[in-house]
């Protein structure tokens, strides 16, 4: 996720670009840059937030330009890796949001052809392809370039030889066009444009647009012209930043499908899952805090089932001070921010103990990434999460764990290539599964209305869905302030049953895995104590209806992937309960997004 803006018109481009870019800072802030055509192409870029760029920027004349704020995915955050990029002759400038999957192959060919590269990014190949195909018409060069690109993109390019013109292309990364009077705009998102115009159209996948101050022409990949519908946006800037959702948390829950897609992207072609994880360990330990810890707990089930490697899980705050074990497991540290102090302390401790390390984080260049070494990091690519309660980043962590487990299964031959391929194929369907669950928002909201004033909520799960139950309970407590606890359902009769009453609600995950009958038994036990039960089961499970008061039916998936639809149902339930209770959803009391103290 990066932020992109562009302007062509009669006013000086620089202030318009910078003001618009600031509205996109939520999309990334590890580096920023601008390219403006004055007498020639002028490019400035800096590491850090947009404010750093603004401070260093001289006054630039010129009324056409593009600007970018970056969320690193390939190539660490640095001035060199900041966008825009230029071709060898510094005539074309390009910015990009997305991932070019086949950039290494393209780069190899371009290097042979004599092109010179300055950065470690995937994006830079694209500007050199534009240079290669440029014959005085940037749109034609873009169309030829796109034929070679695999991956996702919003590309925006300008050429010093065609002043006043911006050419953009889109596949799977957002890009909107804004219409003014004798001036036109492009941006990743509506908030960036609202100060300038509210006449907007979305560029769709496979569309290329050429924008000048007086015209906007959109074509398909073959160059055939497409007519676009323009709408007038009535949101204020704040609404627009939340994408029209009432809260960032809700927006982020609804970003799960694209998050799953982005985290998978480029990581499973031809079973080339990533650099080898090595064979210098016979066990795995996962260490994390909070929601990331529950991802780690789910990871234990995932790794043991898919890769057959014994796995233990420890809270970072405990691991740091635990007695030193003699064995040296692969130690996987999970942290969306990469800055949680306890997890960083655990990473240092594991390093000192001589354990091979791997980190799963959402932040390139974070302290965690630097501690374990950039080449031992799996980046989740969920984009920035603003709501304090982790939602889409948890989903991305689960996806990361599935991919890591599949890679280990491949390296250690614990699954054959057909089985791995089948699982990867099913993973590709998970964005659709996620959409289906999110489509049940209205039903889940009705349940939230019914149960929002309970005294306690108990969430039951078994196997993989036990940690998901814990995560569901954490979501409820942190944003709705209801006392919520997750239990391994088999543990009920060892104590928690005493808590059941009519004032509580129980959510029970009853997917049809090998524990199905057992959990039905557990549901009977709590029902007998007067607690109403919401069952979470697979579509078509009419049997479950007989045991519960209410039902949330999620799409049927292989049981190992059930964590994804189940957690989305819990996230939506927690959100709607908190909303019914009038809570501050995006900023729950007493909590911070990143905990950098012990």
**Residue numbers of the site for ligand F6R (CB under 6 A)?**
289-292, 335-337, 340, 343, 389-390, 474, 478, 594-595
Q: Reply yes or no on whether 583 is catalytic.
A: no
- The distance of closest approach from Cβ of residue 373 to ligand F6R in the complex, given in angstroms and rounded to an integer, is 18
Contact status, residue 165 vs residue 157, Cβ threshold 8 Å: no
Residue with smaller CB distance to ligand F6R, 36 or 364: 364
CB of residue 587 vs ligand F6R: minimum separation in angstroms? 12
Phi, psi of 590 (to 5 degrees): 65, 5
96 close to 175: Cβ distance less than 8 angstroms: no
Choice between 169 and 389, CB closer to ligand F6R: 389
Joined together, the tokens standing for residue 472 give 């569901």
Would you put residue 582 in left (φ > 0), alpha (ψ -120 to 50) or beta?
Answer: left
User: Which pair of tokens denotes residue 100?
Assistant: 């070019």
How many angstroms separate the CA atoms of 305 and 408, rounded? 11
Q: Which is nearer to ligand F6R, 336 or 407 (CB)?
A: 336
What is the rounded distance in angstroms from the CA atom of residue 346 to the CA atom of residue 273?
27
Considering the complex, state which of residue 139 and residue 478 has its C-beta at the smaller distance from ligand F6R.
Answer: 478
| Cβ closest to ligand F6R, residue 319 vs residue 516 | 319
Q: Angle at the Cα of 371 (from 366 to 377), degrees rounded to 5?
A: 65
State in angstroms the smallest separation of the CB of 109 from ligand F6R.
40
Give me 304's structure tokens. 């043991």
User: Considering the complex, what minimum distance in angstroms separates the CB of residue 155 from ligand F6R?
Assistant: 31
User: Which residue number, 177 or 360, has a Cβ lying nearer to ligand F6R?
Assistant: 360
Nearest to ligand F6R of 268, 574 (CB atom): 574
- Which residue among 2, 289, 355, 583 is the active-site one? 2
CB 450 within 8 A of CB 551: no
Q: Rounded to whole angstroms, how far apart are CA atoms 468 and 154?
A: 35
Q: Which residues of 151-189 are buried (b: 16+ CB within 10 A; e: fewer)?
A: bbbbbbbbbbebeebbbbbbbbbbbbbbbbeebbbbbbb
Of 132, 144, 477, 593, the active-site residue reads 593
2 is catalytic: yes
Shortest distance, position 333 Cβ to ligand F6R, whole Å: 9
State the residue for tokens 């001035």: 79
Residue 593 Cβ vs ligand F6R, minimum distance, rounded to whole Å: 7
Between 169 and 388, CB nearer to ligand F6R: 388
Q: Are 286 and 313 in contact (CB under 8 A)?
A: yes
CB of 202 to ligand F6R, least distance (A): 31
Closest distance between ligand F6R and the C-beta of residue 353, in Å?
20
**Helix, strand, or coil (residue 178):** strand
Q: Where are the alpha helices (DSSP H) in 335-464?
A: 341-352, 367-372, 392-412, 417-428, 430-438, 441-451
Nearer to ligand F6R, 78 or 291 (CB): 291
CA nearest to 394, candidates 574, 590, 596, 173: 574
Q: Cite the beta strand spans of 225-344 per DSSP E.
A: 225-226, 231-232, 284-288, 311-315, 330-335
Distance CA 399, CA 352 (A): 29
Question: What is the spatial distance between Cα 306 and Cα 327, in angstroms, rounded to a whole number?
Answer: 22
With CB atoms as reference, the residue minimizing the distance to ligand F6R is 290
Q: How far is the CB of 316 from ligand F6R (least distance, A)?
A: 8
CB of 294 to ligand F6R, least distance (A): 8
What is the C-alpha to C-alpha distance for residues 321 and 346, in angstroms, rounded to an integer? 9
Q: Contact at 8 Å (CB) between 355 and 329?
A: yes
Contact 130, 161 (CB under 8 A): no
CB-nearer residue toward ligand F6R: 292 or 410: 292
- Per residue, the 3-state secondary structure of 450-506, as one string, reads HHCCCCEEEEEECCCHHHHHHHHHHHHHHHHCCEEEEEEHHHHHHCHHHHCCCCEEE
CB atoms within 10 A of CB 88: 16
- Which residue reads 């990949």 in tokens? 221
Catalytic residues: 2, 593
């Amino acid at each position: 996720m990066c932020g992109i803006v562009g302007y062509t018109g009669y006013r000086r481009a620089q202030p318009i670009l910078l003001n618009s870019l600031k509205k996109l800072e939520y999309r990334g802030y590890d580096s920023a840059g601008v390219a403006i055509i004055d007498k020639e192409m002028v490019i400035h870029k800096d590491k850090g937030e947009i404010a750093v760029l603004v401070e260093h920027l001289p006054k630039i004349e010129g009324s056409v330009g593009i600007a970018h704020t970056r969320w690193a995915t390939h190539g660490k955050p640095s001035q060199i890796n900041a966008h825009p990029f230029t071709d060898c002759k510094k005539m074309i400038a390009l910015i990009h949001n997305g991932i070019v999957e086949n950039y290494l192959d393209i780069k190899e060919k371009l290097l042979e052809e004599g092109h010179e590269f300055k950065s470690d990014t995937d994006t830079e190949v694209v500007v050199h392809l534009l240079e290669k195909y440029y014959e005085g018409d940037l749109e034609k060069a873009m169309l030829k370039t796109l034929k070679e690109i695999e991956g996702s993109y919003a590309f925006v390019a300008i050429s010093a030889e065609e002043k006043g013109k911006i050419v953009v292309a889109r596949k799977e990364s957002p890009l909107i066009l804004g219409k003014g009077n004798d001036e036109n705009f492009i941006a990743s998102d509506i908030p960036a444009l609202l100060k300038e115009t509210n006449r907007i159209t979305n560029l769709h996948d496979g569309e290329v647009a050429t924008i000048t101050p007086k015209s906007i022409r959109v074509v398909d990949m073959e160059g055939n012209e497409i007519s676009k519908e323009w709408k007038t946006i009535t949101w204020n800037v704040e609404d627009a930043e939340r994408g029209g959702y009432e809260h960032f948390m809700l927006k982020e829950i609804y970003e799960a499908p694209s998050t799953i897609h982005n985290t998978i992207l480029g990581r499973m072609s031809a079973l080339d899952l990533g650099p080898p994880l090595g064979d210098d360990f016979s066990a795995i330990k996962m260490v994390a805090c909070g929601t990331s810890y529950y991802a780690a707990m789910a990871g234990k089930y995932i790794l043991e089932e898919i890769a057959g490697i014994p796995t233990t899980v420890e809270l970072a705050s405990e691991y740091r001070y635990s007695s030193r074990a003699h064995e040296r497991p692969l130690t996987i540290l999970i942290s969306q921010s990469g800055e949680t102090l306890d997890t960083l302390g655990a990473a240092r401790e594991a390093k000192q103990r001589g354990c091979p390390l791997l980190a799963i984080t959402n932040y390139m260049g974070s302290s965690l990434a630097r501690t374990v070494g950039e080449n031992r990091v799996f980046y989740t690519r969920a984009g920035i999460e603003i709501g304090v309660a982790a939602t889409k980043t948890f989903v991305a962590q689960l996806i990361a764990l599935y991919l890591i487990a599949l890679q280990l299964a491949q390296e250690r031959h614990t699954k054959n290539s057909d089985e791995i391929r089948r699982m990867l194929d099913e993973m590709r369907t998970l964005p659709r599964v996620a959409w289906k669950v999110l489509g049940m928002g209205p039903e889940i909201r009705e349940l939230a209305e019914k149960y929002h004033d309970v005294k306690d909520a108990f969430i039951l799960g078994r196997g993989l869905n036990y940690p998901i139950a814990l995560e569901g309970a954490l979501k409820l407590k942190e944003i709705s302030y209801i006392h919520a606890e997750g239990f391994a359902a088999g543990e009920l009769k060892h104590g928690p049953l005493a808590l059941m009453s009519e004032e509580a609600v129980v959510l029970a995950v009853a997917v049809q895995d090998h524990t199905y009958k057992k959990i039905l038994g557990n549901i009977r036990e709590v029902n007998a104590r007067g607690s109403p039960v919401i069952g979470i089961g697979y579509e078509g499970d009419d049997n479950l209806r007989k045991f519960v008061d209410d039902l949330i039916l999620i799409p049927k998936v292989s049981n190992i992937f059930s964590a994804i639809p189940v957690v989305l149902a819990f996230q939506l339930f927690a959100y709607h309960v908190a909303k019914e209770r009038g809570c501050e959803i995006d900023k729950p009391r007493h909590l911070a997004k990143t905990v950098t103290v012990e």
